[in-house]
Amino acid sequence: MNDITPIRTAPRERKPDWIRVKAPTSAGFNETRKLMRDLNLATVCEEAACPNIGECWTKKHATVMILGDTCTRACAFCNVKTGMPRAVDAMEPENVAVAAAKMGLEHIVITSVDRDDLPDGGASQFVKVIEALRRNTPKTTIEILTPDFRNKVESAVESIIEA
């Protein structure tokens, strides 16, 4: 005979309303999403599943993630997919600049996935994006959040600093 007494667990409490983020539905959000899709651009907002995407995109704020949407590393803290990335998009620098111009950005944040598959870790693409932004939106300030360029030549970082 089995004398095991079932363990009683407390009922799960609902999360408070203030912690829930509503799904984005504004015209500004939809315009930003369409622009990013039309220009084949990835954003941290989408790839990292940011809960503030609705608020930011409504205000035409976005953090552009260059070098695709697939990372060569598998960091436990990150929501970006991991695998073998596609080839670098030669039109990406110009498309980032077009997006910045269409959104009327005074400031843009550019980051990327890790691209350990590239000889320079993607540094040359950062340089091309910076140059395209300076040509097309010279008054836009540029913030660069680079990967660590692990095991890449020092000139990779120096080229970005120079740009």
Q: Which domain holds residue 153?
A: 23-162
Report the domain count for the chain.
Answer: 1
Q: How far is CA 78 from CA 23, 25, 57, in A?
A: 21, 26, 21
Query: Is 54 contained in some domain?
Result: yes
Query: Is 59 contained in some domain?
Result: yes
Query: Is 94 contained in some domain?
Result: yes
Structure tokens given for 82: 């991991």
Nearest to 112 by CA among 100, 124, 94, 97: 124
Q: Which amino acid is at 9?
A: T
Torsion angle of the four alpha carbons 75, 61, 160, 131, in this order, in degrees rounded to the nearest 10 = 140
Query: Is 121 contained in some domain?
Result: yes
Query: Is 133 contained in some domain?
Result: yes
Query: Is 30 contained in some domain?
Result: yes
Query: Is 50 contained in some domain?
Result: yes
Query: Is 117 contained in some domain?
Result: yes
Kindly report whether the global pTM for this prediction surpasses the value 0.85: no
Nearest to 125 by CA among 138, 114, 140: 114
Q: How far apart are CA 19 and CA 22, in angstroms?
A: 10
pLDDT tens per residue, the chain (163 residues)? 566 777 777 778 887 877 776 767 788 888 888 999 999 999 988 888 888 888 888 887 889 999 999 989 988 888 888 999 999 999 999 999 999 999 998 899 999 999 999 999 999 999 999 999 999 999 999 999 999 888 777 888 899 999 9
